[in-house]
Structure 1
Amino acid sequence: MSSEPGPGLPFLPGCAFRDPMKTSFHRSQTLGYKNGFAFSRLPTAGIGGERLYVNQLSQAELDELSKRPMLTYRQAKQAPPSGFIPAHVAFDKKILKFDAYFQEDVPLSAEERYRIRQVAIYYYLEDDSMSVIEPVVQNSGLLQGKLIRRHRVPKNDCGDHYHWKDLNRGMNITMYGRMYRIVDCDPFTQVLRFYAMWDDTDSIFGENRPYIIHYYLADDTVEVREVYKQNDGRDPFPILIKRQRLPKTFVDKKKTFPSCVLEISDQEVLEWYTAKDFAVGKSTTLLGRTFFIYDCDEFTRNFYRDKFGITDFQPVEIKKKPLEEVPQVIPPYNGFGVLEDSLQNCFSLLPKPPRKDVIKMLENDHKVLRYQVALESPNPEDRKRRFILSYFLSNDMISIYEPPVRNSGIIGGKYLGKTRVAKPGSTTENVMYYEPSDLTIGSTIEVFGHRFVITDADEYVLNYMESNAESFPTATLQSLRDHFRPRQVVKETAKSDIPMLGTSDQEMDELIVQVQEELKLHKYLNNKSIREAFLQCDKDGSGILDKAKFLALCDSLSVPTNSFLVNKLIDLCSCGEDKINYRDFLRAFPL
C-alpha cells in the first residue's frame, strides 16, 4: 500500500496515510544572508522537504509582473537602478597575500633552541575569511601545508574578527595563540607611502610635526599616521586620520556636512582624492589640514614612473625654523641662604643641592684662618668692638664671633654664622666671593652691609700662606710679614732675658676673659684634667716649663694653640729663653 494518498481520494477521515519514516516537518526558508546582505529566494521544497508540484516562475516573468501599468499618455517614470554591488560579487576571487613567519621553540634539542618557519597568510575579500599555509619542503620532518583552514579568524574574546585593516607589513598578528610577523605582501596589496610635514608654527605652541601618508591602491583610501618618537612628551596615538576615502571637492562647495554624525557619500562629494593628487614637493589639504610632501618610498617612485611617467622625485630638504632664544632672567638674590642654593630654584622645579668639591673639603678639613677685625661705624661705641673673623678653607665660608667684654653693655657671641660672603658689586650671573688673598692687614671686608677692617691675624695664617706661597699674591703675603715682624723682634728680645715691656695686668685679665669665652666653644676640654697634667709635669714646682714641653703637653690635651687668642696668651706668658709661665696660662682654665 502506498504511504501517500492518491490524487483521486478525498481528504476524509480514514483516507489519509502517514509515513512513519518522516521526521522533518519544517518550512523551507525564503530569506537568506550572505556577507551581511539579505536576499530572497523562491522555495524549492514544501513542508518537510516534500517536492512542490507547482510551476516555478522564472526571473524574467517576475520582472515582467513587477512592471507598473502604462499611464494614459506616457510610460511611468522608473527610478534608476541602484549601483550597489554585493561584496561576494565585487571581491570574487580577490585575495590579499602576505608573507610572514613565526618562531617555534625546540625544547628537546641540544643544537637549536627555536626554528623560524615561513608561511603565507591569505585574506579573502569576498567573505573576510583567512587561511595560513606553509610551503611544503621535502624531507623537512615537519607537518607542513595548511596550518589554519579558511574561515573568519577571531581577533579577541569580544567576538571581533580580523579585518584587512588589521594587516600590514611590519605588524604582529596573533592567531590561536601563535604570533605571526608580517614582512611583505604581493603587488595587489601594496601601498603608496609619502613622507609629509605639517607646519603649525604660526599658532601658539605650534611646531613642525612629521607624518606618513598611506594611499591604498586597492580601495583608494587614505590614512595619515604620526611619526612617534620616544620621550617626545606626546601620547602614543599614532593614527591622525583613520583609513577612509577623503573628499577633495564637495558638491555645494561647502564643508558644513555633519561628518561626525553621518557618513559622506557620493551625493555630497564631487571629487575624491586619488593617487594623482599626491606628489613630492607639493602641499595637499586633508580634512582642513595642509601637509607638505617632501619625500616618498621606492615603490611609490616606481608606481608613479610606470603609471604617470613622472621621473622627478628629488626629496625636499625641510628647514626647521630656528627657535627664538629667550634670555633667562635670573631674579636678584634675596639674601636668604647661600647664593648657589637659592639659584637652584631658577633651574629646576625640584631644586638639587649644588655639587661640592669633596677633594678640597678632605684636604682642608679643620684648617681655619682667623683674623681680628674692627667694626667701621660712625658710632664711637662700635669702634671699640673687636671681632674674630674665621675663614674655613674647606668650603670658603666665613663666620664672625664677638668675644664678650665685661661691663661693655654688649652681649657679644656669634655675630655671623658660617656662610659664603660675596664681594660688593657681585651679580647672580657673575658671583665673586671673598678669598684668603683678599684678607690682608688693613683691608676692609663688607659683610651684608657692615664694614670690617682687619687689624690682626693668627701666626698660623702667615705660616699657611708661606707654605703655599704660589697660591697667594705677593702683596697679601708681604702685608702679613710686615705685620708680624715687630712681634718677631719682641720674641728675639725675650730670648736675651730682657723683660718684655708694655704688658699690664689689666691687658692680661682682659685677654684671659676673651680666651675663656672662646674655649667655651670647645666643649671637649676638661679644665681639671688640664690643670692636673701641668702640675704633674712641673716636678720642682717652679711654675715654669720649657716651651717645647709646654706645647707638646697642650697638643696631647687638645688645647687649640693655633687660635689667635690662645696664641696671644702664650706669648704673654713667655718668660726668658723658651720658657713659659704655665700658672698664668692656667688662669684661662678655672675649675
Structure 2
Amino acid sequence: MSIRCPNLPFLPGYSFNPNIGKNKYHLNPIFGFLGKGNMALIEKVKPNMFGPLSDKYPSIYPRGQSVELPGWIMFDKQILSFDGFFQETLQEVRGSPFQVRNVKIYYFLEDGTIQVVEPKVENSGINQGTLISRQRIRFPVPMDDNFYDLIDFNIGKEVELYGRVFKITNCDKFTRTFLNRCGISVPDPIIGPEDPYLELRSHDKDACQPKKPNRNKDSLGKFLENDRKVLHFKAYWDDQMTEYGYLHSLQLRYYLADDTIEIKELQSESGGEPGFLFLKRAKLPKRYKELPPVGSNANYTVLNVLGSALSNRRYIVDPLDCGRENIEYYGERDLSIGGVINCYGRKLVLTDCDAFTKEYYAAKYGISEFNSLPEPTQNKETVYIAKPRERELPPWNGFGTYEDSAQNCITVEPKAPNKNLKKFLLYDRVGLDSHILRFKAKMVSKIPENCTRNFIISYYLTDDTIAVFEIGSRNSGFGTSTFASRAEVQLPGQKIYVSKHPLCYTSEHMYIGATLIINGFTFVLTNADEYALRYMELNCGQFPKANLKAIMDKVREKLRPIYKNFVAENIPTESSVITYSKLRNMLCKIMGEDFTEHEMITIARGFSASCFNEKYDRQKIRAIALTELKRYLWDDLDRLREYFLQTDYLKAGKLTKKECYTVLKGARLPFDNELLEKILEVMKKDNECKISYEEILQFLNRTLCAPPDEPPINIKNQLWWGSEPLAEAGKLIDWCAFNKYLNLESTFKEAIEPNSISALEKTS
C-alpha cells in the first residue's frame, strides 16, 4: 500500500479496510471506446483509496510525462520472462519431505497478464505444462483490490499466485534490460535449492528397487541390435520312403532378433504348393516330447501356502523354481551347412546359405569354408502327386443361380459368390471405352412378323453377360423395350439340372453372322457398331474373326492354285477400286461355307478405299476465325506471343496441342471450344505431334492474306465432330492393296499382259 500511496505512511491509524460498510461487490459495467468509434464493455479497476490511479498511464512513469498510447500498441509482443520454483510437499516418500518444481513466469506488458508454465520433463510422473493460464492476478487478501504489476516481479522476490508461493531466481536478457531502463535494479541470479527426492534416488539406488525377484529377461537390446537381420538356409526333408511321400525343398529362416525359426516349402516337381508354410515362426525345441502344460514357460512359480477358500488364499513366489523344466531351443550355433536339425520328428538337412549368412558366421565365428551340399535325386517312380479333389456338389434345383447354390453347399453361413474381380477391373468402363460390344440382330422364326423385328444385342466383357433390346418400328405392333435382361446365356444342348455350371456364350461366339439362341429364340447377328468392330480389330488375338492377318493367310492358301484365273477375271477396267459386293461374291465361292460375314467385313475395312472430303478445310476455318476476331474487335497478337514464349520454357518454338489449347483459352480469344479444336486440327504437326506457335500467330494475323469475311454460322452445331457423319468404311475396296498384301506378284505378272501391268502400277 505504501508503494502505491507514498503520501501516507503505512502506520496504524493511517489505513483502514475499504470493505467496511460495503454491501455490493459486483463490477460496474461501463462502456468505453477502444480506438475511434469502437464501443465495447470494459472493466474499470477500482482506484486506490489513497489517491487516483489511472490505467491510462503506466505506473512507473510520473503522470503527464509518458506517451499517451494504449498498452497493446506500446508493448505488443513484449514479454518479461522469469525463472522460478515452488516446493510441493511429499508425504508418501520416506526421506523426501518435498520436491522442487521449476517454472517459467511470463508477464505480458501489453495488458499486464501473467502466465505460469512448468517445462515438461519426460517420465516425471506428474502433470506438467501450463499451471496458470494467461490472466490478470490480484494480490492476496487483504490487498486483493489491486493487481500484480511489473514492479512486483524481480529476482529474489516471492510472489503468491492463487495460494502458491513462487520464488524468482533468474530472468532473461530482455527482462533485465527492460527493468534497468525503467530504473529498477535487477540482482544477480540465485541458485535454487536441490530436490531431495532426486538426491535420494541418486545416492540410495536400492531404496527404489522392487521387493520381488524379477526374472524377466531384457531382450530389448538384442532386438534393437539384430532387428531385420535374418539368416537364410536351404534345406530338404526326404520323405520318399513313406507312402505318397516326396522330397521337400525347404527354406529355413532364423531371426536373430528373438531366436525364432520359420520354414517355408519351395515349389518342386512333386506338385507342392509354392510358398507353403512348413513351420510357423516360433522357437524350435531340440527335443519334443509332448505339448507343454499351461504355465510351464512362465517366469514365476506361484505357491499356495494357506487356505483353499477364495477369501483366505495366500500366495508366494517360489524362489527355487521347483518343478521348472529347462527346454533347450535351437540357436545360431546349431545351424551349419551339412547339419541336421530335428523339426518335431522330421530330420531337416541344411545344404546352403545366402551371402549375408556367410558374412555373419565369418565375422562372428571365423568360419571361412561354406561348401554347399547337393540334394538327393527325386525318385519319380515313388512320387505321388496329390491332386486336389473337387468337391462333389448336389445338382442344381432350379432356384437362384448356379453360383449361389454352390456357395450355399460349400458353407453353412450364407455368403455371396466370388466374382472375377481381376476381369472386372480389366474391362470396367474407362472414359469413352465402355467394353460393351453391340450387334444388330434379326430373329429367325416361323412367324413372318417376328422376322421383321429389329434387335440390339449387347455383350458385356466385364462378366460375359448378354442383354437384348428391341427397337420398335412404326406401325409394326412391337414397341421399344428390353427383350431379355442382362444375364449369362447358356449354350444350347446342355443339361440344366447338373452340379457343374454349364457352358455359356463367350466373346468367341460374338461375331457378325453368328447364330445365338437366347431364351428359346434364335437370333442372327447382322451388323455391329463402329466401337465393336474397332475393339475386336485391336484385340484380334481374342477375336479370330477380326484378325486380318489370319484371314488373309487363309485366303492366300485358297487362291494360290487359282490366283492366275482369279486376277485375270476380276481386273478393274476403269480404276483400282472394286465394290464390296463383287469381292464378297468372289471370295464366298472360293472360301466355302467357313467364310463368315465378319471376316469379309474385316477384309473390307482393312483395304477400304472410301474417301472423305471435309466440309470445312484450312482456308474456311481461317476465314471463320478471322471473322470472329473482327466481330469482337480482338487484336492482341503481341500479348498472345508473350504467352506462347512464357509457356515455351525450352525455347523450341513448338508446343503440344494441349499446351497450345491452354494458351489460347488463357488469352481470352473470342472462340468457342469447337472452333479452337478445328484450328488446332488444321495446324501442321511434326514427328512428336507438336505445333509451331508461329504458325498459329500467322494463322490469326489479319494483315497476312486475309480471306473475305464469312457469313455468321452456328459454330457449336456446324463444327461439332458429330455434325457431319464420316463415310462408311468398306463399301469400296482397294484392289491393288488387296493383291499386294497377298504377295503373289509372280503369278499375277504371268496372268496378265504387260500393258495391263503398267496401267495397274500407275493406278496403285
What is the TM-score normalised by the length of structure 1? 0.32
Q: Which has the larger radius of gyration?
A: 1
Name the structure where strand makes up a greater proportion of residues.
1
